[in-house]
Amino acid sequence: MNSKITKYLDITPEVATALAQGQAVVALESTIIAHGMPYPKNVETAREVEEIIRNQGAVPATIAVLDGRIRIGLDDADLERLGQAKDIAKLSRRDLPMIVARKGDGATTVAATMICAALAGISIFATGGIGGVHRGAEGDFDISADLDELSKTPVAVVCAGAKSILDLPKTLEYLETRGVPVIGYKTEQFPAFYCRESGLHAPLSAQDPATIASMLSVQRDLGYESGAVIANPIPETHAMDAAEMDRVISSALLSAHKDGVVGKAITPYLLSKIVELTEGRSLEANIALVKNNAVLAADIAVKLCALR
């Protein structure tokens, strides 16, 4: 690896060994810990997700920036620090170099986690939901940097689709324009995070992890620089009622507007508002879908290793 890059990275021995030996590694983001879920459930979930990945025969690598170091793989104390941190920076592509230069701390979003994973040589990443085109983007241009990252960084992101706090049809259009494959796992529909269905057709679909791994392998062989979205519906047992979520999300969006929340604060604000409005039920759904995504991501990573 290029020493200009490695001087910024701290890869744990467990992850480094797995990568060197061609074993399956799954990246995990830290914004979901620091800004996506309340303490202590955030830390509990982060630990459980790592455990799930290990049980599937892969090595987890949770990613964050701590004291200016790009950390690939975190220990318990690091997870606790991120989970309890107040006002820790939310790092997307644009923010990462400044936090590293200032030797600061930051939680990585999907975009920044993809960048760090790719630098370390990790190609599969599990999370809850990706950012997307926000409702009203035709007015305020709010389009998550996650979407562009997916078009230029070769990391496949396993998620439960995107939330309807976003404009889902525009999100899919944008991904199409950027040439990002969106694959529904065992579904013909693009899943809507808390709900298994969005009413929108998934552009591609696959019935098993091996097919997804083969597609990723072809993508690499052909020199594509893009990643992929693997959209895995929330387990049926935890799916929420679509009509209820429509009401809750409308109400959360209205509060955000009233409170004047804009820019990168919007997504964390809406997530915590939704937890409040559903009296914690949306948090349980969120946890269940992240775990479900961890299983699939590890399965794909294991299959991909066998092919490469």
C-beta nearest to ligand PSU: residue:
36
| Catalytic site residue from 50, 90, 149, 163 | 163
Which residue is listed with tokens 């592509």?
Answer: 93
Report if residue 299 touches Mn ion, rule: CB under 5 A: no
To Mn ion, the closest distance from the beta carbon of 144 in angstroms equals 5
Give burial (CB, 10 Å; 0-12/13-18/19+) of 264.
Answer: buried
- How far apart CA 196 and CA 236 sit, in angstroms, is 7
Give burial (CB, 10 Å; 0-12/13-18/19+) of 76.
Answer: exposed
Q: How many CB atoms lie within 10 A of CB 302?
A: 19
Report if residue 95 touches Mn ion, rule: CB under 5 A: no
Give CA torsion, residues 231, 51, 78, 69, to 10 deg. Answer: -60
Parallel, antiparallel, or unpaired for β 156-159 and 182-185? unpaired
Positions in the binding site for ligand PSU (CB under 6 A)? 29, 31-32, 35-36, 109-110, 128-129, 131, 144-146, 163, 264, 267, 271
- Residue 13 CA, distance from chain mean position: 24
Among residues 50, 78, 105, 142, the one that binds Mn ion under rule CB under 5 A? 142
For Mn ion, the closer CB: 71 or 273 = 273
For ligand PSU, the closer CB: 32 or 240 = 32
**Residue 186 is among the residues annotated as catalytic for this protein:** no
- Distance (Å) of CA 3 to CA 6, 7, 25: 5, 6, 22
For Mn ion, the closer CB: 142 or 149 = 142
For ligand PSU, the closer CB: 24 or 130 = 130
For ligand PSU, the closer CB: 135 or 303 = 135
**Residue 236 is among the residues annotated as catalytic for this protein:** no
Report if residue 50 touches Mn ion, rule: CB under 5 A: no
Report if residue 146 touches Mn ion, rule: CB under 5 A: no
To ligand PSU, the closest distance from the beta carbon of 157 in angstroms equals 9
Return the amino acid letter for 133.
V
Which range in 107-115, 140-148, 164-172, 218-226 contacts Mn ion by CB under 5 A? 140-148
- How far apart CA 251 and CA 107 sit, in angstroms, is 27
Residues taking part in catalysis: 29, 163
Residues that bind Mn ion (CB under 5 A): 142
